[in-house]
Amino acid sequence: MKKKLITGLGLVLLIFTIGAMVVIKNLDTIVMNQRLINEQDIIIGKYNEMLFQIKGAQAELYRHQAGYSRNIDDLVSYIEAFDENMDFLSRQYSGHLNDVACMQYYAKIEERLTSLQGIFSEMKTLIKDYKTSYKRVKAKKRQIVWQRKSIIGHLVKSIFYKSTLKEHF
């Protein structure tokens, strides 16, 4: 009787232990899937922000080229925000580039991630070139402003000098 009771309790304990391991494994899978869903939501949100920033930059560029605006600070702020989002997404994707869990389910994901990495690096190069040309334009603008100020200063001095000469003669 005692032997049957111990065997029965041992069997029940074994069943509960196996059931607990299955539940823990399923909970771990559910938590991992939820993390991926949250990460996908963040990435989708960043893509939407980037789309808004591209449209805003295009609109500001059109306004500037059409002559409706002389200020390009808004355009630069859109590009800088886009650059920040692109860096964030690049880090997100590069984190999954060698992830075994991602690669075992999706056969072509590594190829896609590698192509995205190439696209991001190309975009970084283009934005870097744009920022360099913007800095040149801004420096040239400052130089023109200083030249105008010095010309006005020379004119004022010459007018003042001529007026003082007329008073003496």
- Residue of 135, 141, 91, 137 whose CA lies nearest to 117: 91
Tell me: pLDDT of 165 over 50. Answer: no
Report residue 159's pLDDT band, with 50, 70 and 90 as the boundaries. low
User: Global pTM?
Assistant: 0.52
- Residue of 125, 135, 59, 57 whose CA lies nearest to 90: 125
- Residue 109's pLDDT is 62
Query: Could you give the 3-state DSSP secondary structure of residue 114?
Result: helix
Q: 87: which 2 tokens?
A: 């860096």
Distances from the Cα of 160 to the Cαs of 9, 148, 165, in angstroms?
111, 18, 9
Q: 58: which 2 tokens?
A: 């295009």
pLDDT in tens, 79-121: 888 878 887 877 777 776 666 666 565 656 666 666 767 777 7
- Residue 14's pLDDT is 93
* Mean pLDDT estimate for the chain: 77
Tell me: pLDDT of 50 over 70. Answer: yes
Q: 30: which 2 tokens?
A: 């559910």
Gap between the Cα atoms of 89 and 94, Å rounded: 8
Q: 109: which 2 tokens?
A: 């994901």
For the chain, the domains span 2-130
List the single range of 30-39, 49-58, 64-73, 76-85 with lowest mean pLDDT: 64-73
